[in-house]
Copies of this chain bind each other. A is one copy, B any other.
Amino acid sequence: MSVVTVERKILKKNDEIAGENRMIFRNHHLFTLNMLSSPGSGKTTLLEKTLAQLPKEIKCAVIEGDVQTDNDARRIEKYQVPVVQIVTNGGCHLEAKLIQDALDNFKLQDLNLLIIENVGNLVCPANYDLGEDKKIVLVSTTEGDDKPLKYPSMFRVSDVLVINKIDLLPYVDFSLEQVRKNALQINPDLEVFEVSCRTGEGLENWMKWLVTATRGR
């Protein structure tokens, strides 16, 4: 019971700082995404493809969250955007305070878009608001179409579902129709995109959504 209390206190404190972050983002007209998924669903690859296709006038920065290593930040640096790596040293999710501290590394007034890649984990990061505008959950066609039912919290709190690796559909037991049905049963408001970050298929719809949303801020 005491554990639950502590957890609630942590979440309450996190929510307060997330609220501060949200205010900072709004004051700077900065559109902010929190990218969430299991390890290996393709968050970093989606991010790479997005940065490569982003119109030049949209100025983007990236915060990378990882349990260990700065591999992802090094992949992102190649796209010549400001990037900060947060290494959680075993921690299973990002928290609002970590994001707030990372913001010191950016010139926020020069930015339009901030993309945060969370730790690969379909459970814990669902509970931690970072102050972002939209949560993007990825699921890949190799993970099974039952994942929204088995990890409902993540799909409930998300705004957008990106179904990745559709190029592998011929080789796996996965139904696009079923995963959509399962996800929308948990959260009927989810915006859904079907993409292959490898072949580029479907990315135009994702990019259109992202660019429109960023310009609207």
Interface residues of A (CB under 8 A from B): 2-3, 6, 10, 38-40, 66-69, 71, 90, 92, 119-124, 140, 142-144, 146-147, 149-153, 165, 167-168, 171-173, 198
Known: A149-B68, A151-B39. A142 touches B123 (CB 8 A): no
Tell me whether chain A's interface is mostly helix, strand or loop, or mixed. Answer: loop
A173 to chain B minimum Cβ distance, whole angstroms, is: 8
Complex interface: chain B residues within 8 A of A150 (CB): 39, 66-69, 71, 120
For residue A147, which residues in chain B have a CB less than 8 angstroms away from its CB?
Answer: 39-40
Asked if A151 contacts B67 (CB within 8 A), the reply is: yes
Q: Which residues of B contact A122 (CB under 8 A)?
A: 38-39, 120-121
B120 touches A40 (CB 8 A): no
Q: Which B residues are in CB contact (< 8 Å) with A92? A: 92, 121, 123-124
Residue of A67, A123, A143 ringed by the most chain B CB atoms within 10 A: A123
Given contacts A39-B151, A120-B122, A120-B150, 11 further A-B contacts (CB under 8 A): A38-B143, A40-B140, A67-B123, A69-B146, A69-B149, A71-B150, A92-B124, A120-B123, A121-B121, A121-B122, A168-B171
Smallest Cβ-Cβ distance to A167: which chain B residue: B171
Chain B residues with CB below 8 A from A66, complex form: 150
Residues of B within 8 A of A39 (CB): 38, 122, 143-144, 147, 150-151
Interchain CA distance A10-B1 in the complex, whole Å: 12
Query: How far, in Å, is A213 (CB) from chain B's closest CB?
Result: 27
Contact B168 A40 (CB under 8 A): no
A151 touching B68 by the CB < 8 A rule? Answer: yes
> Is the CB–CB distance between A38 and B6 below 8 Å?
no
Are B168 and A142 interface neighbours, CB within 8 A?
Answer: yes
Residues in chain B near residue A123, CB distance under 8 A: 67, 90, 92, 119-121, 124
